[in-house]
Chain A
Amino acid sequence: AQSVTQPDIHITVSEGASLELRCNYSYGATPYLFWYVQSPGQGLQLLLKYFSGDTLVQGIKGFEAEFKRSQSSFNLRKPSVHWSDAAEYFCAVGYGSSNTGKLIFGQGTTLQVKP
């Protein structure tokens, strides 16, 4: 069955430090991959997406992610974290054909930023 795993439930980094959030997926074909961010009590905002082509994708707010097919991973990175990056981050995978369009999310990783 298709699944998305975010191994780290909670991560704490110091402001200015680098960040990497892990995401692994399970799917037989080429997945369509997304990273979303959620501020407390709010909906989700898209950070970046991967459909095909260059495996390193750039997103908003200085985030990037790299698709590694051999590792079934799509890890999110940021070189220098800002206090405003504290939020919950979700990795998601799109499955199915155009007329089903199922979108499955991981459990989320809560990022805390220390001053």
Chain B
Amino acid sequence: SQTIHQWPATLVQPVGSPLSLECTVEGTSNPNLYWYRQAAGRGLQLLFYSVGIGQISSEVPQNLSASRPQDRQFILSSKKLLLSDSGFYLCAWRGTSILTEAFFGQGTRLTVV
């Protein structure tokens, strides 16, 4: 069966420090991968999605970037964190058919101080 791993679960980082959040999927190949951010009262905002290795689409201009170095690995990064980067980050995967739902990781709570 397919599983998705996301780590770390919680993270406290100072302003200006770098960020790296990792997400890996098991049990499937060539998934569509997504990074969402959930800020209080703002629902889930799609940040990036990827349909293949090295293929990244950015949905909103921001201080973050994403990379997909391997088929089932999706990384969210920043060179210098801002206070506004605080939030709950969720990774998700979905099959290549549009007739499938997305499966979510457990999320990372990022607090920038």
What residues of chain A have their CB less than 8 Å away from a CB belonging to chain B? 6, 9, 32, 34, 36, 41-46, 49, 51, 90, 92, 94, 96-108
Contact = CB atoms under 8 A, between A and B. Distances in A.
A90 B44 contact: yes
Given A46-B101, A94-B98, A101 B106 contact: no
B107 A43 contact: yes
B109 A101 contact: no
Given A98-B97, A99-B96, A101-B49, A107 B106 contact: no
Contact of A44 (B6, B96, B104, B109): B104
B43 A99 contact: no
B53 to A, nearest CB: 14
B3 to A, nearest CB: 12
Contacts of B90: 43-44
Contacts, number: 67
Interface residues of B, number: 28
A92 to B, nearest CB: 8
B113 interface: no
Interface stretch (B14-22, B34-42, B61-69, B70-78): B34-42
B102 A103 contact: yes
B39 to A, nearest CB: 11
B51 A103 contact: no
Given A103-B34, A104-B46, 18 more contacts: A6-B43, A9-B41, A34-B101, A36-B104, A41-B88, A42-B107, A43-B106, A44-B44, A44-B104, A46-B103, A51-B99, A97-B98, A100-B57, A101-B49, A101-B94, A102-B49, A108-B43, A108-B44
B109 A107 contact: no
